[in-house]
Amino acid sequence: MAKSKVLIIYTGGTIGMIRDEKKGTLKPFRLNRMTKSIPSILELGIEIHAMELEKIIDSSNMTPSVWIELAGIIGDQYENFDGFVVLHGSDTMAYTASALSFLLENLGKPVVLTGSQLPIGLPRTDARENLITALEIASMKDMEGRSLIPEVCIYFEDQLYRGNRTYKFNSENFDAFLSSNYPVLAEAGVNIEVFTHRLLPHKEEKLVVRKTLSDKVALIQLFPGLNLEPYVEMFLTTEIEMVILETYGSGNGPTDQTFLTAIRMLIENNVQVLNVTQCRQGHVEMGKYEASSDLAGLGVLSGDDITTEAALTKAMYILACTKDKKERAQLMQESLRGEMGA
């Protein structure tokens, strides 16, 4: 079997940071110095190429335009490589992984996002293991010579997660990510064990790269005493088309008329509302309690067990794909890239 070819795309983040001695802060440095820090990469038996974004950024400065740029790079290089490793800051990595999963339709090769909690030049860094294993995973092929993992993933601290199921939960430990509603795709110990029955099926269709995302999406997290009226006015003025509503428990919200009237006003003015739970584990069950029955009656959509990160990026994608409200509602409530459901 021919040697696998993997492209590293460096966006920025802690994995490539050095300390600015004058300011005492961390700043990104160029990729060639990073690869020199891990000479063992050359022993993996993989043909590795590397490139970086024209503008290296801290992941806190991530934007949808960068997601589109990344998807475009992968699309342009898709036929030249067996897999891709995206080096990315951990703070917004789950958003980027989710966005790429929607922008890359019919993906048949691995796109593995990874990073680190400590810069690559520090003695105790987690960057070396994360990068080396991400490269190995991206290079894997099945018995037929196809790329083994046909989806967007996050690899961190021995675990490979489906990207659009993942969220950052820890800023201090090396195991920074979790996927509470879907099991890991692979575990790296002495060997890398891939749970192939958990992977998305290979697509026979040609890769399609979407190049637009809508910015007409907003997020509201419920809290006791929330006054929705100012939000409604702002959303209608700015022509927001979909609101992600983070509710309590299994999708519950207040039953008082002031709150329900605000939701009704949004929906009557063609703003669709998606119900996702603030709980990181579990799912929305519209109508299970009285506190969610009223929302269901108003036409609020169910987000099932989708993460907030995936819900936001999926909404940006769906709103850019179609103007039809019924189609939008249908697509938001079904799994497109394994982002929701069993």
Q: Which region, left, alpha or beta, applies to residue 24 given φ > 0 means left and ψ of -120 to 50 means alpha?
A: left
Whole-number Å distance between alpha carbons of 273 and 254: 15
- In the numeric block, which tokens belong to residue 227? 């006054």
Q: Could you give the dihedral angle defined by the CA atoms of residues 187, 188, 189 and 190, in that order, rounded to the nearest 10 degrees? A: 130
Strand ranges (E), 13-119:
17-20, 25-28, 47-52, 83-87, 104-105, 111-114
- Contact present, 243 and 235 (Cβ < 8 Å): yes
Of 14, 125, 308, 313, catalytic: 14
- Clarify whether 14 is annotated catalytic: yes
Which stretches within 192-239 are classed as H helix? 229-237
Query: Cβ atoms within 10 A of the Cβ of 10, count?
Result: 22
Whole-number Å distance between alpha carbons of 113 and 108: 16
Annotated catalytic residues are 14
